[in-house]
């Protein structure tokens, strides 16, 4: 996934060409861990894609294990990704290559599910 450069957007706006849309048009909300709280990240998400960020934090005063809302979605996805041998360790030198292998692993998962339904 690559975002258009700022110079590309500005040159297209000068020519009357429509501004490119984000690659994730259906994404509306992002759930994040407590480490990602902060107004700067929330402002960036809103400015870049119009996304709302919801930080899932532990309830105050709770010690030990506690079930956190929506946390299972993230843990389940990590479980699916860990089945891919290539993603078990950090072999790649470039972040874009790692991102591509994550996308390939998720595509493989979705295609397998579609294949079971037919």
Predicted model pTM? 0.51
Report the C-alpha gap between 55 and 50 in whole angstroms: 16
CB-based contact 2:25 (threshold 8 Å): no
Quote the DSSP letter at residue 88: S
CA–CA–CA angle 12, 15, 21 (5° rounding): 35
N- to C-terminal Cα distance for the chain? 30
Q: What is the pLDDT of residues 76-114, one digit of tens each?
A: 888 888 888 878 777 888 888 888 888 899 999 889 888
Domain boundaries, the chain: 1-61, 70-118
Tens of pLDDT, residue by residue over 16-43, are 555 555 566 778 888 887 788 889 989 9
């Amino acid at each position: 996934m690559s975002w258009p450069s700022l110079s590309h957007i500005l040159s297209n706006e000068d020519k009357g060409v429509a501004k490119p849309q984000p690659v994730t048009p259906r994404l509306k909300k992002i759930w994040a861990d407590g480490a990602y709280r902060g107004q700067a990240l929330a402002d960036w998400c809103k400015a870049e894609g119009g996304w709302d960020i919801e930080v899932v934090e532990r309830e105050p005063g709770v010690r030990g294990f506690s079930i956190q809302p929506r946390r299972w979605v993230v843990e389940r996805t990590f479980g699916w990704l860990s089945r891919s041998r290539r993603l078990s360790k950090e072999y790649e030198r470039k972040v874009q290559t790692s991102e591509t292998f994550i996308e390939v692993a998720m595509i493989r998962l979705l295609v397998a599910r579609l294949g079971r339904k037919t």
